[in-house]
Amino acid sequence: MGISLKEVTKEFGTFRAVDNITLDIPTGDFTALLGPSGSGKTTLLRLIAGLEKIDAGTILLNGSDFSAKTVRERKVGFVFQHYALFKHMNIFDNIAFGLKVRPRKQRPSKKEITEKVMELLKLVQLEHTASRYPSQLSGGQRQRIALARALAIEPEVLLLDEPFGALDAKVRQELRHWLREIHQKLNITTLFVTHDQEEALEMADTIVVMNHGRVEQIGPPEEVYQNPANAFVYSFLGRVNELRGAALRGYLGNTIPNGDEVGYIRPHEIGLNRTLKGSSVPAEVSHVTKVGSTVRIDLKRLDLGHIFEAEMSTEKYRELGPVQKGDILYADLNHIVIFNGKNNTTQPVLENKTLRAAYL
């Protein structure tokens, strides 16, 4: 149920935008399609809406085959990145559009349309804008109207393309909460595209991480973040230090290095001390930044010379005592996760949580 994609492929010329994707999104789920630009996430969304034709595979919506249906038969609610509100219509007519273009037999009466539009305007808390034109609204308000317009046709799925891409940080934050609330109220299967991992982690029930037209990992935010399936997911979600070659020496345990290994460690997983403890390595502080409740410290490893970043809460930082440029600290890098770089999709070769102190 919900949306299921089976071996869906889409090519533009020789470029494979969506590559053999199989995916199930349960009814009522709030799903994020997350990936860098060019990863095929928007194309996938447009394939579901019918705005693009699929080259191969099938799309099922609540069990019925959608692949051959036209855009208008699919009845999906689609919210465009730049809203695509009708400039020459006022807000009321924008929202009423989907009801007014129905075939005469299915078209609600004028009174019903008015009621429905006002109800939606109330839902998005913009009742007072009914007679205004899109150009008279702010970006955030336009986004809410675009959603109301998409909901007017009572869609079975709601698709949003980079819904907050064009908004400033504060409005974006507000709208994220608001969109979650709306979803909880209506419980429509919702799929949104974003390249912002924070947005995906914060809002979605399920995250689909995409890269090069393929799905890299599917799962709830915590799982995707805590247990990334491969190096791409690890490096794409959250801040990360990437280590290669000599920097990995000592963390590889019993495996024989072949030069392709790549290690990742998140800045907040690096422990810093004033004194040498166990397997920590000495590093020189090159910069200290305070961002809200966290402190970021740039360090240069004394023995190998490469630069990495550590992050901690202000309390931890206070425990450590004021750090200045030039100070020598000892960094605990044992949380490093190592992948075999030749094949990014493999499971981690080693998780060094179990390997601490197995070196030097």
Partner 1 sequence: MLKKLIRHRALPGFGLSMGYTVVYLSLIILIPLAVLFLKASTLSFTEFWRTVTDERVVASYKLTLWTSFFAAFINLVFGTLIAWVLVLYDFWGKRLADAIVDLPFALPTAIAGIALTTIYAPNGWIGKYFAAMGIKIAYTPLGIMIALTFIGLPFVVRSVQPVLQDLDTRYEEAAATLGANSMQIFFKIIFPAIFPAMMTGFALAFARALGEYGSVVFISGNMPMKTEIIPLLIITKLEQFNYGGAAAIAVVMLLFSFILLFLINVWQWKTAKKQQMI
Partner 2 sequence: MNELVLEVKFVSMKKWLLIGVALGFLGLFIVIPLLAVFSEALKKGIQLYFAAFNDADALSAIKLTLVTAAISVPINTVFGIVAAWAIAKFDFRGKNILITLIDIPFAVSPVIAGLVFVLLFGSQGLFGSFLAALDLKIVFAVPGIVLATIFVTFPFVVRELIPMMQEQGTEEEQAAMTLGANGWQMFFRVTLPNIKWGLLYGVILCIARAMGEFGAVSVVSGHIRGLTNTIPLHVEILYNEYNFQAAFAMASLLTMLALVTLGLKSLVEWKTKKYVNGG
Question: Using CB under 8 A as the criterion, which residues of the chain lie in contact with partner 2 when the complex forms?
Answer: 49, 51, 71-72, 75-78, 80, 82, 84-89, 97-98, 101-102, 133-136, 149-150, 152-153
Tokens of 216: 């890299």
Distance between CA 208 and CA 193 in Å, rounded? 10
Instruction: Please say which residue, 18 or 152, places its beta carbon nearer to partner 2.
Output: 152
Tokens of 95: 């929202």
Residue with tokens 């961002």: 291
Most distant pair of Cα atoms in the chain: their distance = 80
- 135 contacts which partner out of partner 1, partner 2, none, CB within 5 to 8 A by kind? partner 2
Residue with tokens 């030039």: 326
Instruction: Please say which residue, 133 or 178, places its beta carbon nearer to partner 2.
Output: 133
Distance between CA 107 and CA 91 in Å, rounded? 19
Minimum CB distance to partner 1, residue 288 (Å): 36
Minimum CB distance to partner 2, residue 133 (Å): 7
Instruction: Please say which residue, 80 or 178, places its beta carbon nearer to partner 2.
Output: 80
- 88 contacts which partner out of partner 1, partner 2, none, CB within 5 to 8 A by kind? partner 2
Q: Where are the alpha helices (DSSP H) in 237-360?
A: 314-320
- 53 contacts which partner out of partner 2, partner 1, none, CB within 5 to 8 A by kind? partner 1
The β-bridge partners of 193 are: 33, 161
Residue with tokens 């963390």: 251
- 77 contacts which partner out of partner 1, partner 2, none, CB within 5 to 8 A by kind? partner 2
Instruction: Please say which residue, 17 or 295, places its beta carbon nearer to partner 1.
Output: 17
Relative orientation angle of helices 139-152 and 169-186, to the nearest 10 degrees? 20
- 318 contacts which partner out of partner 1, partner 2, none, CB within 5 to 8 A by kind? none
Instruction: Please say which residue, 80 or 133, places its beta carbon nearer to partner 1.
Output: 80
Give the footprint of partner 1 on this chain (CB under 8 A).
12-13, 15, 17, 42-43, 46, 50-53, 71
Minimum CB distance to partner 2, residue 222 (Å): 33
Q: With residue 265 as reference, give the H or E element that holds it.
A: strand 261-265
- Contact by Cβ (8 Å): 121, 129: yes
CB atoms within 10 A of CB 9: 16
Minimum CB distance to partner 1, residue 70 (Å): 9
